[in-house]
Structure 1
């Protein structure tokens, strides 16, 4: 009789762990690294997030990587540390790195005009004569979200006309969405500015935006799994998470390339951003003076520099798209970390989670997982 009862209880227990109805079990609270896992699982539970990936480096060493929950809740496929996810607007930091590299090579200046005769893109986009303020737009304006309009706050222009590619869309925006202010006068977060910078990179390099970044930024530091994502579930890449929102697959994600189109692992992001952290522990891929420029606000708005958000000595950027959220940060105390989730979680809370992780009283492993 005892055996029968135990078997019955075991069956009930297995049923209670059904992947369709329950999040993965939370680890017990405690000291050490379990604090980190507990914080992540708690966030997932509170925000109904199926899966997450995390990577943390300290003083140039990759000290922790972890995957949580499901890459695909319906199929039961688990997240692993090699699962790739959409990084969305973290792509802006990637694009800013590429622009700063071109600047170091003397191929552009931050004050270069973008549109009009003699400018970086000349008259390749839109219809001439250009409307007010278009020919005043510079690289610096785009990098710092001081475009003079085309902001995300009410009606992001990059979401219009999904059948167009990036080149067609930029021309459409120039012709039909007037700038409301002179560039450089006010901050307004803008996907359009970084979409334009992708075309600047292509014009100067003679390569596609994606190929230039792979060849000149990613491959030299050993990153081989970052690429531009696809639009639909059928376009899902190898080892890419599923995004648990049907609208995640209804837009033109791929054309967001320079402003929000990359997919990556959390480790990819940390491997990249330790190379621009201003620390001597791992050689940076940009010069110190370039990093100072990149992390100094060029206009009155003090919380955003060039592709990087600022909060004291912490540099960071977040990313949001339907069905995914992401965040990376670099602290003055030697941490670089990244986290990504495959659900519509609160982005501000994800930032807070990552800040709390690196601030936690944890004895981090000493092994360098980069090696």
Structure 2
């Protein structure tokens, strides 16, 4: 019996030892995991392209007349600050800011600054819709309203005009939804819309879509072109419903990030919510304060809370820099031998040629030029794509795209884009030869630098010079004898280009 009792004691002792060892092991694993999770550093977000480029990189004797012409154009039209980017055959060859990003503190406008882009936002929205079409989740012919439509939520089913059930995604893209404006442009007259719906301000995206179902259509869907901000707000809701994500998140995650646009954001209405490097906005001197968009009793300028810019969503709610908008265009504008973010079929759908055809996302299309304009209180923007004969591209053309955005309204209002196109086209004719460089390469170099630092586990992000081939190319253009840019060596520090001391 003593033997059996002792044997049991040994077994219990061994069990206790084993259990204790397992507990210690599990505690160690848990502690190690927790420590690893604590020590693990998040992958840094890619540095936006507009943060890597400075005005000085596009300084040259050859472009002084161009810069002077842009300055005269801005002074004549009362534009406080602006930014310009130029691509040739999908290479970024020129980028510069002009005037002031903020007059009050004398902040000069640089390439890094971002602006409200007004209706240029519709181009971003159209690309997002086409991406959903390519994924097979919807088609351009998908019905939007009604029980069998995309927006078949209960709040959207009590439609005043039964014709609205015929509205398709394509109709909205091409401004052929048939929407009327009984209360003016609903996007900018939300107080009237709120009273019509018997709701309080501020209005949500759902409120605006519900309003679209409560008014009579001006025409049968597909029969009449009538420019409609409301239609693109409805498209924003379509994107939300189909993707299962907030509009801005789907666009950023599924469109902008894959293209490499990391500093394009949905706008905020008040300056306290402005993004880093976002400019200040200026209206014409005759402009008067209006009631704030959110129903508060305060009076504000339209560009500083009077308009619900954020609530424009896909109709006009984004902020961006010209260089990243140019990058977006490069991704959706196929040239011979170039890959595109969208299929050729989608691009042709967006840019049809024909007297009675309307583009999707773009303002106007011809066989040689594509335009997208945008304007509202405090901003004016334009994107122009065109080609010239005798170029170096495989099709025998040179393919150009330029983007100009300002932080000011003009007394000429929406017509400013026409003057902008004319003035910039004439200014470009003053340049005999543009740089044979590609500032997009700086972004790839920054990515490679960061990846190398991570591979080596370096915590020290000391200056690493721009590779000689890029600097040398620019130096040759500037007619200098050293790999410098106007006497300044550009280097990366913390994954950015900074100004260093020239040697």
TM category, shorter: 0.7 to 0.9
Q: Greater share of helix residues, 1 or 2?
A: 2
Say if 1:306 and 1:83 are closer, same or farther in 2 by CA, change over 3 A.
same
Supply the RMSD in Å over aligned alpha carbons.
2.0
What CA distance in whole angstroms lies between the structure 1 residues aligned with 2:429 and 2:336?
21
1:146 match: 176
Q: 5 Å matches for 1:218-297?
A: 218-245=256-283, 246-249=301-304, 250-280=306-336, 282-296=338-352
- 8 Å CA contact 1:151–1:191 kept in 2: the answer is no
TM-score if structure 1 supplies the norm length? 0.86
Pick from 393, 397, 404: which aligns with 1:339?
A: 404
Higher Rg of the two aligned structures: 2
1:1-371 equivalences in 2 (<5 Å)? 32-126=62-156, 128-150=158-180, 155-159=184-188, 160-161=190-191, 163-175=202-214, 177-245=215-283, 246-249=301-304, 250-280=306-336, 282-296=338-352, 301-302=356-357, 304-308=358-362, 309-333=364-388, 334-345=399-410, 346-357=416-427, 361-371=431-441
Give the Å deviation of 1:60: 1.1
Counterpart of 1:22?
Answer: none
Query: Cα distance, 1:149 vs. partner?
Result: 2.5
Count of residue pairs brought into register by the alignment: 338
Contact 1:335-1:358 within 8 A present in 2 as well: no
1-structure distance, mates of 2:337, 2:87: 11
Q: Distance in 1 between matches of 2:428 and 2:332?
A: 18
Distance 1:244 1:44 in 2: 13
Alpha-carbon deviations, 1:146-168, whole Å to 9, x = none?
1112359x820112235101211
- Separation (CA, whole Å) in 1 of partners of 2:326 and 2:337: 14
Q: Is the 8 A contact 1:132 1:179 kept in 2?
A: no
Structure 1: gaps of 5 or more residues: 1-29
For residues 366 and 145 of structure 1, what CA distance do their matches in structure 2 show?
A: 40
Comparing 258-267 with 326-335, greater Cα deviation is found at: 326-335
Q: CA shift at 1:282, angstroms?
A: 4.6
TM superposition outliers: structure 1 runs of 4+ over 4 Å: 357-361
- TM-score of the superposed pair, with normalisation by structure 2: 0.64
For residues 429 and 386 of structure 2, the distance between their equivalents in structure 1, rounded to whole angstroms, comes to 10
Cα distance, 1:146–1:74 mapped onto 2, change above 3 Å: same
Could you tell me how far 1:31 is from its partner in structure 2? 7.6
Using the alignment, how far apart are the partners of 1:67 and 1:103 within structure 2?
36
CA distance in 1 between partners of 2:154 and 2:351 (Å): 31
> Structure 2: which 5+ runs fail to align?
1-59, 192-200, 284-300, 389-398, 411-415, 442-503
Q: How far apart, CA to CA, are the structure 1 residues paired with 2:134 and 2:424? A: 32
Q: Using a 3 Å threshold, how does the CA distance of structure 1 residues 174 and 310 change in structure 2: closer, same or farther?
A: same
SS at match of 1:316: strand
Distance 1:64 1:282 in 2: 21
**Partners of 2:97 and 2:110 within 8 A in 1:** yes
Q: What is the CA distance between 1:292 and its match in structure 2?
A: 1.0
CA distance in 2, matches of 1:248, 1:356: 30
Measure how far apart 1:280 and its partner are: 3.7
Distance 2:227 2:352 in 1: 17
